[in-house]
């Protein structure tokens, strides 16, 4: 590439000159002309621009950085605030992914209309028409006077409107429909998504706009588009849930401003999404009598413990390759637990079909469910109910050892609150000062747990 001749720019009025001068010919200011250079390499935001080669940033030490709490505002949905780490941070970007029809547009419309009563809010719809959005808001009886709506899929147009309006919070529904004029490829393509997201993130940071991006997911449950999308934003939230149940869970899988794996629980009603503040109540099935194959565990996803019923069904298989089906729990983990149960518990299940399920459509991603799964399998296999006042948690290792899980005492407290009387827990999780109100059976190895039953 030919070496371009240097250019100069005024610091005060930004006029570009071909020659250096002591005084700016435009604003008549003195000593404000600086050399600028084109940015040619890299893919940074300034690529193709002319910038000053002097650095305006300084080196600092860690302790000289002032402590500032991230300023947050409420989304008016307690459970969404919880997932975000205590409210949405001003100027941050959150990506909300989930299956079609799970409620992404609904929840964001609910939040934005409520926020718009106090602050400026902009809802950009690229999928639904203005009428559809308005109709939904009317049906849900949401306040409709203040929310600004924009039906557009061109990122340049969106940025222009947002720069003028300077909203506190903005929603893009969805990022896969947005395109930029600067690229030839079709909307939804990897390069379009990446470039449009980069422009929107820059807009959010520049004008301190809190931005929610709605993202589609692929059949495998991953966010559609480039993987780098997740790196570009501050928070990644996934909407989970079974379309057959009315419960929905929003999980933070990345959060620069809070705990990951934090979950918020909602119920889809004809009034839109309602928060569920006591999730233990919904993930427990209400059996009158104890039933075989059902074990209650206390899970801790994020920062909150809650009770979940794990169900297992073990039946004789007539297939060469018996089925191992897992709903809400990890399938690989199930295969491993079956092997441990056979090797260290002496229970051969190789000729049995095995199904396990976490009740209520919740997905358990932590290992604390291991012991509950094993005991549920055994209970179903032997067709012997385990008392429904019994609680179980613990991780199971490959050599049959029962390993501790984090926050044991907190889990026990949650169970005691719901009237559980006995718990089978890893010995290393035994509270040092004892635990009032519950009988604790501590186990070291799988054999101890099976004996305790």
Residues in the site for ligand TYD, rule: CB under 6 A? 98, 100-106, 136, 140, 268, 270-272
Which residue(s) pair with 184 in the sheet? none
Q: What number of chain residues touch Mg ion (CB under 5 A)?
A: 1
Find the shortest distance in angstroms from Cβ 60 to ligand TYD: 43
Give least dist CB 140 to Mg ion, A. Answer: 14
Considering CB distances under 5 to 8 angstroms, the limit depending on partner class, which of Mg ion, ligand TYD, none binds residue 425?
Answer: none
**Which does residue 272 bind out of Mg ion, ligand TYD, none, counting CB within 5 to 8 angstroms by kind?**
ligand TYD
Identify the residue among 75, 92, 105, 197 touching Mg ion (CB under 5 A).
105
Q: How far is the CB of 112 from ligand TYD (least distance, A)?
A: 13
**Residue placing its CB nearer to ligand TYD in the complex, 99 or 156:** 99
Query: Looking at beta carbons only, is 136 or 445 nearer to ligand TYD?
Result: 136
Distance in angstroms (rounded) separating the CA atoms of residues 290 and 329: 22
DSSP assignment letter at 73: E
3-state secondary structure string across 9-71: EECCCCCEECCCCCECCCCCCECCEEEEEECCCCCCCCCCCEEECCCCCCCCCHHHCCCCCCC
Nearest approach, Cβ of residue 266 and ligand TYD (Å): 11
Query: How many C-beta neighbours within 10 Å does residue 287 have?
Result: 11
Q: CB-wise, 140 or 438, nearer to ligand TYD? A: 140
Closer to ligand TYD by Cβ: residue 271 or 278: 271
Distance between CA 354 and CA 350 in Å, rounded?
A: 9
Residue 154 CB, nearest approach to ligand TYD (Å): 21
User: Residue 192: which of Mg ion, ligand TYD, none does it interact with, CB under 5 to 8 A by kind?
Assistant: none
SS3 355: strand
> Which span (13-21, 105-113, 298-306, 332-340) binds Mg ion, by CB under 5 A?
105-113
Q: Three-state DSSP class for 151?
A: strand
Instruction: Point out the residue whose Cβ comes nearest to Mg ion.
Output: 105
Token output for 192: 């379009």
In angstroms, the CA 363 to CA 299 distance is 10
Closest CA to 172 of 143, 204, 146: 204
CB of 212 to Mg ion, least distance (A): 12
In whole angstroms, give the CA distance from residue 252 to residue 80: 10
Binder of residue 101, out of ligand TYD, Mg ion, none (CB less than 5 to 8 A by kind)? ligand TYD
Distance CA 281, CA 246 (A): 14
The first and second tokens of residue 34, run together, are 């600086």
Per CB under 5 A, does 110 bind Mg ion? no
The residue to which tokens 């199930």 are assigned: 334
* Beta carbon nearer to Mg ion, 105 or 255: 105
Q: Which is nearer to ligand TYD, 104 or 194 (CB)?
A: 104
Distance in Å, CB of 268 to ligand TYD, minimum: 5
Give the H/E segment covering residue 297: strand 294-301
Residues that bind Mg ion (CB under 5 A): 105
């Amino acid at each position: 590439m030919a070496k371009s001749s240097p250019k100069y720019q005024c610091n005060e009025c930004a006029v570009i000159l071909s020659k250096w001068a002591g005084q700016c010919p435009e604003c008549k200011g003195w000593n404000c002309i600086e050399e600028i250079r084109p940015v040619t390499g890299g893919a940074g935001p300034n690529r193709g621009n002319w910038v000053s080669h002097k650095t305006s940033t300084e080196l600092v030490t860690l302790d000289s950085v002032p402590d500032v709490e991230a300023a947050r505002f409420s989304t008016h949905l307690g459970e969404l605030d919880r997932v975000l780490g205590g409210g949405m941070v001003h100027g941050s970007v959150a990506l909300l992914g989930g299956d079609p029809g799970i409620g992404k547009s609904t929840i964001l419309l609910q939040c934005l209309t409520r926020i718009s009563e106090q602050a400026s809010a902009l809802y950009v719809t690229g999928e639904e028409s203005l009428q559809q959005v308005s109709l939904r808001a009317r049906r849900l009886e949401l306040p409709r006077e203040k929310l600004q709506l924009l039906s557009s899929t061109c990122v340049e147009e969106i940025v222009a409107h947002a720069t003028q309006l300077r909203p506190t919070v903005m929603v893009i529904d969805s990022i896969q429909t947005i395109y930029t004029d600067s690229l030839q490829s079709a909307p939804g393509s990897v390069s379009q998504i990446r470039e449009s997201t980069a422009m929107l993130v820059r807009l959010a940071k520049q004008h301190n706009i809190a931005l929610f991006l709605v993202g589609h997911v692929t059949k495998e449950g991953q966010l559609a588009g480039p993987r780098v999308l997740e790196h570009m934003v501050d928070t990644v939230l996934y909407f989970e849930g079974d379309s057959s149940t009315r419960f929905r869970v929003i999980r933070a899988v990345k959060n620069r401003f809070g705990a990951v794996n934090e979950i918020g629980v909602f119920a889809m009603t004809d009034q839109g999404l309602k928060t569920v503040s006591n999730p233990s109540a919904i993930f427990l099935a209400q059996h009158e009598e104890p039933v075989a194959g059902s074990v209650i565990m206390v899970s801790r996803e994020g920062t909150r413990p809650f009770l979940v019923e794990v169900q297992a069904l073990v039946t004789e298989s007539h297939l060469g390759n018996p089925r191992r089906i897992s709903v809400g729990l990890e399938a690989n983990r199930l295969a491993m637990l079956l092997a441990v149960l056979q090797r260290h518990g002496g229970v051969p299940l190789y000729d049995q079909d095995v199904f396990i399920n976490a009740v209520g459509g919740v997905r358990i991603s932590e290992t604390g469910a291991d012991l509950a799964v094993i005991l549920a399998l055994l209970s179903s296999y032997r067709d012997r109910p385990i008392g429904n006042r019994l609680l179980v948690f613990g991780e199971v290792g490959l050599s049959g050892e029962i390993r501790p899980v984090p926050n044991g005492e907190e889990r026990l407290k949650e169970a005691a609150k719901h009237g559980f009387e006995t718990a089978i827990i890893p010995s290393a999780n035994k509270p040092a000062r004892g635990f009032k109100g519950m009988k604790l059976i501590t186990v070291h190895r799988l054999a101890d747990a099976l004996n305790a039953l």
